[in-house]
Structure 1
């Protein structure tokens, strides 16, 4: 049966849910700042090649946190606009709670939640799992969505919706729009011509990409992204 969880029980069940995941793990939390214990558990899941999906929506991730996540091959991180749900699932259990996957919340806040079992709460678990999958589908994977740039973070790129000023360079998403392509189509073409390479689900700028004016940048708010000359044409 479903179980009520207070603050300490929610934290305990969350760690157990992550630790016991043997096939898949879904962590949905608007705010994201992982404590050392959660990081240890996720690193272990990565070593075991467990498929982990993390969806967040509100917190400004620090570059060091993004870099840490990028090192985990089997952990995929997505950004979902207007996310407010907090839900954590593995192949057997689910927690729906007020608790963010955020270090401050886990230590300082009064939280509550409900734990579900796939075997005992069949319909509730199924509905929660299907909604989690829907949230994943509408979210943008970090390696693509983190190409957003603000004027403050990168003055040469201009404000949102502008093409840039002094360097006249565009993010991949803006260049794709200029060329009448989808962002993924552009990235595929950049790989095909040798300007980017894809390793273990992550994009890297090649020497060829640098030669045509491509740049790798890191945004404090959104993490890694690429800039390209606005005149770049990719056949």
Structure 2
């Protein structure tokens, strides 16, 4: 029989679910932002070579978190459009809850959920597991990187109109590719040359950046990114 979980119980059993995973771990959450404890637990699963799948719909990862996550070989991430489900499973336990993998929710919100044990309710666990697998199948698997998921400079525009409006300009990752450097190295260079500035942990165009033709855009799918003239001189 499923067990009701309040806020503290949800957090407790989610941690236990991750720690007890021996074969597989599935984490489905619209928002992806990891606190230190969650990062510690996931790093341990990676060391044990546990297959971890994370499905998200929006990301608030900072560059340092992205760099950390992309080093974890056994953790695969997928993007699922219009994701609203929050479901966490290992081979024996399943939690369906209001709790996101989002630091603010874990600290400040009032949450509730249910815990399903495979040994107690095999049919219910099976239904939840199969739906989780369906969500994974319809998701776009990505390797977390500064080129794909970032709050500062997105790889490429997501819509046709964005591409049409900027045919003579390149996204940060495309410009970096042309210059033969990594995207994060280009971003650092743009900050150093006063084309971008950092405020509250995010990157913004400076007057100089705008003067040379830099543009800020927002992709409905991936979020904010920058466009630059193809012949930008740094």
Residues 157 and 165 of structure 1 are in contact (CA less than 8 Å); yes or no, is this contact kept in structure 2?
A: no
Q: Aligned pair in 2 of structure 1 residues 166, 25: CA closer, same or farther (>3 Å)?
A: same
How does 1:1-235 map onto structure 2 within 5 Å?
A: 1-143=1-143, 153=153, 160-161=159-160, 162=163, 164-166=166-168, 216-218=182-184
* Alpha-carbon distance in 1 for matches of 2:58, 2:27: 14
Q: Aligned pair in 2 of structure 1 residues 57, 157: CA closer, same or farther (>3 Å)?
A: closer
Cα offset for 1:32? 1.4
What whole-Å deviation, never above 9, does each CA across 1:54-113 have from its counterpart, x for those lacking one? 111023332222211101110111111100000000000000000111111011011000
Residues 149 and 157 of structure 1 are in contact (CA less than 8 Å); yes or no, is this contact kept in structure 2?
A: no
Cα offset for 1:140? 1.1
Q: Aligned pair in 2 of structure 1 residues 3, 140: CA closer, same or farther (>3 Å)?
A: same
Residues 22 and 91 of structure 2 are in contact (CA less than 8 Å); yes or no, is this contact kept in structure 1?
A: yes
Q: Report how many aligned residue pairs link the two structures.
A: 187
Q: Which runs of 4+ in 1 moved over 3 A?
A: 144-150, 156-160, 163-172, 212-216, 218-223
Cα offset for 1:33? 1.2
Q: CA RMSD in A?
A: 3.6
What whole-Å deviation, never above 9, does each CA across 1:19-66 have from its counterpart, x for those lacking one? 000000000011111111111111100000000001110233322222
Question: Which moved further from structure 2: 162-171 or 130-139?
Answer: 162-171
Question: TM-score, normalising length from structure 2?
Answer: 0.68
* Alpha-carbon distance in 1 for matches of 2:77, 2:141: 6
* Alpha-carbon distance in 2 for matches of 1:21, 1:27: 12
What whole-Å deviation, never above 9, does each CA across 1:180-212 have from its counterpart, x for those lacking one? xxxxxxxxxxxxxxxxxxxxxxxxx9xxxx6x8
